[in-house]
Structure 1
Amino acid sequence: MPYRWTETSQTERRLELWPHRSLPRRGFAAFILATFTLITIPLYPLLGTFVLWGLLPFLLIAVAGLWWALERSYRDGEILEVLTLDPGHIHLSRTARRAKPLEWEANSYWARAEMHQTGGPVPYYVTLKGNGRTVEIGAFLSEDERRALYGELANALTEVRAHTHPQG
């Protein structure tokens, strides 16, 4: 799962969420190398001719374009959501590469996790509600991962609520 719960102290829990990467960096390098190798196969009969030098720049531009597009996808996917949960306080921060960090906090006793099966930007949309605001969490996760996250998040809030006294 592209998220992880950690116990930072006896009363505090931390949840980190990030987008899933189906192509790891090693696979990325292997894919570019394999593409370059396969794209040069038609050039072998042209070795020693001027036609090779006419085609080679276009093939290199194609490989460079593929590399650039995949690299851009990696940079755009550099999103990290961090939820800190303790008996008196819940805090969510979201950092993305080309956006300013977003912050939300509330009293953990009054915070609620909600799942919207329909009507959100994605099916089984998970939100947190508290302090007069509703914020999304884990929208980049798959449908099954969002369902699992909602269950774990609701349980964590229930557990922390059992150890909390309500404060305004």
Structure 2
Amino acid sequence: MPYEWMTPPPGDDAPSAELHLWPYRSLPRKGMAVFLGITLGLIAMPLLAVVGSPVLWGLLPFLAIAIFGVWWAIERSYSDGSVLEELRLWPDRVALTRHNPRSPRQDWEANPYWVDIRLHPKGGPVEEYLTLKGNGREVELGAFLVAEERKALHADLSDRLRALTSRP
């Protein structure tokens, strides 16, 4: 699952629990290199017919542009997928930080006693839309996760928040 509960190191202001969420990667970097190599080979295969003729030099720039375009699109996808959401739970506060690839970091904090975890089955931008509401704002959590993962996260987070707020 593309989320993980971390055990923070002990300290004076260390959170009780910390959750990291990130988008799933279906194509690792090594797979990207293999894909680009195969694509280059398949695109270059028709060029074998024109090796040694001036036509080759006319076609090579288009081959280079096509390979560069595929590489750029995959790199852009990797950059867009570098989103990281960090949810930290303390007895007196809940903090969510979202690190975006090309925009400023977004922060949200609320008192755990007043945080409402909502799972919207319909009506959100994605199925089983998960939000946290508190401190006058409603923020999304894990919109890049699949519906089953958001359901599991909702149950897990509800249990952890309930345990956190029921401490004496």
Tell whether the 8 Å contact from 1:88 to 1:107 is kept in structure 2 after alignment. yes
Unaligned regions of 5+ residues in structure 2, if any? Answer: none
Report the count of equivalent residues.
164
2:6 paired with 1:6: yes
Q: Which residue of 2 aligns with 1:91?
A: 95
Q: TM-score, normalization: structure 1?
A: 0.92
C-alpha offsets along residues 7-59 of structure 1, whole Å, 9 cap, x if unaligned?
A: 21576100001111111111111111111111111111221111111111111
C-alpha offsets along residues 45-88 of structure 1, whole Å, 9 cap, x if unaligned?
A: 22111111111111111011110111111112211110000211
Structure 1 residues 67-106: aligned runs within 5 Å = 67-106=71-110
Structure 1 residues 1-150: aligned runs within 5 Å = 1-8=1-8, 12-150=16-154
Q: TM-score, normalization: structure 2?
A: 0.92
C-alpha offsets along residues 94-152 of structure 1, whole Å, 9 cap, x if unaligned?
A: 11011111111111122121100011111100011112221110011111111111111
Q: Which has the higher strand share?
A: 1
Q: Which residue of 1 aligns with 2:157?
A: 153
Unaligned regions of 5+ residues in structure 1, if any? Answer: none
Displaced runs of 4+ in structure 1, greater than 4 A? Answer: none
Identity of aligned residues (%): 50
